[in-house]
Amino acid sequence: MPNSINHTFEVDNNNLQVQLEKLNAMTRLVPNIDLFIMSFISNEATLSSKIEGTQTEIEGSFKKEENIKIKQRDDWLEVTLYINAVRSALII
């Protein structure tokens, strides 16, 4: 039987503050946080879709449909739909 998780947690507020300050400093280095997040979403979409056999690379996920070879458009569309679904869920 697993241990109960209904107990008080101790938090090291000093360490928490240091970690939050580091995170805040890192966000200042990124000029466009939405673009930064989208790169991670696109990477996840291409990796996840590869499991299903698609051949789209992350670079292709940023291209417009007319710039994708006709024989690769089905794979591109699958990745694009995945990205759009995640964006809708996150409301980016």
- Separation CA 47–CA 57 (nearest Å): 8
pLDDT, one tens digit per residue, over 1-49 is 667 777 776 777 888 888 888 878 877 888 887 888 888 899 999 998 8
> Are the C-beta atoms of 51 and 75 separated by less than 8 Å?
no
Q: pTM of the entire structure?
A: 0.63
Domain ranges of the chain: 31-90
pLDDT, one tens digit per residue, over 56-73 is 889 998 999 999 999 999
